[in-house]
Amino acid sequence: MRARHIWITAFFLVATRAAAQSSITVEQAPCFPAGENQVVHGTAAGEAAGGAARLYFRWEERGGFYWVEMEHDGPGRFWAVPPKPEKRNLQIEYYGALLDAGGHEISRSQPRKVAVKSDCHVELTPQQKGVAQNLTVGETSAAQAKGEVMGFLCDGVVTRVNPNNVRRSDDFCRVCVVAWWKKGDVLLPALAAGGITTVILDQPEPSPSRPPL
């Protein structure tokens, strides 16, 4: 029994030391383009086996943080693409975090604040564009499930993850699409080579042979 207690104590000492040696840093992006995606790069040391890195972000000082998974870009290097900021969002706050295999945070970077600008130009790689068009956005509070990602566009947001790590389709953005379709002038999101665009369709005038829609 004593040997077992010694082994458990040694295990926790090793885990604590590994966590203390873990670190992550995220770069200061020059700007975020209004209505478009930006990529945020980061570096990490002491990653836990089976762990992950996340980028937490929010419209500055408005509500809780959301997060997206950071993609590996070689040993100790990561990048992430948050959703597109909407027109009211003038500044974004973000930080990086390392998680262990159980999803527990073991390291956090210093926070960054970056302005959203209309003249900010970003060139995403094909891989980054693919991620930007199929975003999984995590939540940090139950209240965030009741609406859009605050301060960011629906464009590209496909999946949401609640604080209990349960995934679901982003039903809020899907409802918005249905609401657009029911309007007199239909706003139909359509896939295009460069992402998602909007096509405006006029409903036909009613006639005796064609009743109103």
Q: Which residues of the chain have pLDDT under 50?
A: 3, 5-19, 177-204, 207, 209-211, 213
**The pLDDT value given to residue 8:** 40
Which residue ranges make up each domain of the chain?
22-179
Q: What is the pTM of this model?
A: 0.76
Residue-wise DSSP of 25-76: EE---S-EETTS---EEEEEESPPTT-EEEEEEEETTSS--EEEEPEE-STT
For strands 77-80 and 71-72, give the pairing. Answer: antiparallel
Which CATH number fits the domain 22-179, given the four candidates 3.90.850.10, 3.40.50.740, 2.60.40.10, 3.20.10.10? 2.60.40.10
Nearest to 139 by CA among 163, 107, 117, 110: 163
Tell me how far apart the alpha carbons of residues 150 and 66 are, in angstroms, rounded to a whole number: 9
Looking up tokens 């004593």 gives 2
**The pLDDT value given to residue 61:** 87
3-state secondary structure of 7: helix
Tokens encoding 94: 């973000």
Tell me how far apart the alpha carbons of residues 20 and 167 are, in angstroms, rounded to a whole number: 30
**The pLDDT value given to residue 2:** 53
Tell me how far apart the alpha carbons of residues 79 and 204 are, in angstroms, rounded to a whole number: 47
Q: What is the CA radius of gyration of the chain?
A: 22
Tokens encoding 181: 């379709």
Tell me how far apart the alpha carbons of residues 162 and 166 are, in angstroms, rounded to a whole number: 5
Q: What pLDDT, in 10s, does the model give residues 161-195?
A: 999 999 999 988 876 544 444 444 444 444 333 34
Amino acid (one-letter) located at 27: E
State the average pLDDT for the chain: 81
* Residues 29/74, Cβ–Cβ less than 8 Å: no
Looking at the chain, the whole-number percentage of residues with pLDDT higher than 70 is 72
Tell me how far apart the alpha carbons of residues 157 and 160 are, in angstroms, rounded to a whole number: 8
